[in-house]
A and B are shown apart, each in its own frame.
Chain A
Amino acid sequence: MKPAEVLIIGGGPAGLCAAISAAELGCKVLLADRNKKLGGQLVKQTHMFFGSEKQYASVRGIDIAGILLSKVENNENVEILSDTTILGIYEDGVVTADQSGNYFKIRPDAIIVATGASEKTLAFPYNDLPGVYGAGAVQTLMNEYGVKPGNRVVMLGAGNIGLIVSYQLMQAGVEVAAIVDASPKIGGYLVHASKIRRMGVPIYTGHTVKEAHGTETLKGVTIWQLDDKWNPIEGTEKRFDVDVMCISVGLTPLSELLWQAGCEMKYVNELGGFVPVRNEDLETSVKGIFVAGDVSGVEEASSAMVEGFLAGLSAANYLGYTIYNINEKKNDLHQQLNALRSGPVGEKIRKGISELIFSSEAAVSKEI
Chain B
Amino acid sequence: MRIQEHPILIFERGSKITFTYNDMLLEGYEGETIAAALHAAGVRVLSHSHEKHRPRGFFCAIGNCSSCLMEVDGEPNVRICVEMVKDGMAVRTQEGKGDIL
Contact = CB atoms under 8 A, between A and B. Distances in A.
Interface in A24-59: 34-36, 41, 46
Contact of A121 (B56, B57, B59): B59
A141 B57 contact: no
Interface in B45-101: 45-46, 49, 54-65, 81-82, 84
A360 interface: no
Interface string A245-267: 00000000010000000000000
A34 B61 CA distance: 14
Contact of B60 (A134, A172, A216): A134
Nearest to B39: A147
A133 interface: yes
A251 to B, nearest CB: 10
Interface in B10-60: 11, 13, 32-33, 35-36, 39-40, 44-46, 49, 54-60
A119 B32 contact: no
A217 B57 contact: yes
Interface stretch (A71-79, A123-131, A274-282, A289-297): A123-131
Interface residues on A, range: 35 or more
B61 A137 contact: yes
B39 A137 contact: no
Interface in A109-143: 118-119, 121, 128-134, 136-138, 140-143
A131 B5 CA distance: 23
A171 B7 contact: yes
B49 A134 contact: no
B57 A129 contact: yes
Nearest to A143: B9
Contacts of A216: 45, 55
A217 B42 CA distance: 11
Nearest to A149: B39
Nearest to A174: B3
A238 interface: no
6 contacts: A118-B60, A128-B49, A128-B55, A130-B45, A215-B55, A217-B44
Given A142-B3, A147-B2, 19 more contacts: A35-B63, A35-B82, A46-B8, A118-B60, A118-B62, A128-B56, A129-B57, A130-B58, A131-B44, A137-B62, A141-B35, A141-B39, A143-B9, A145-B40, A150-B1, A171-B6, A172-B3, A215-B55, A217-B44
Interface of A: 34-36, 41, 46, 60, 62, 118-119, 121, 128-134, 136-138, 140-150, 171-173, 215-217, 254
Leading 5 A-B pairs by shortest Cβ distance: A130-B57, A137-B61, A146-B11, A145-B36, A118-B64
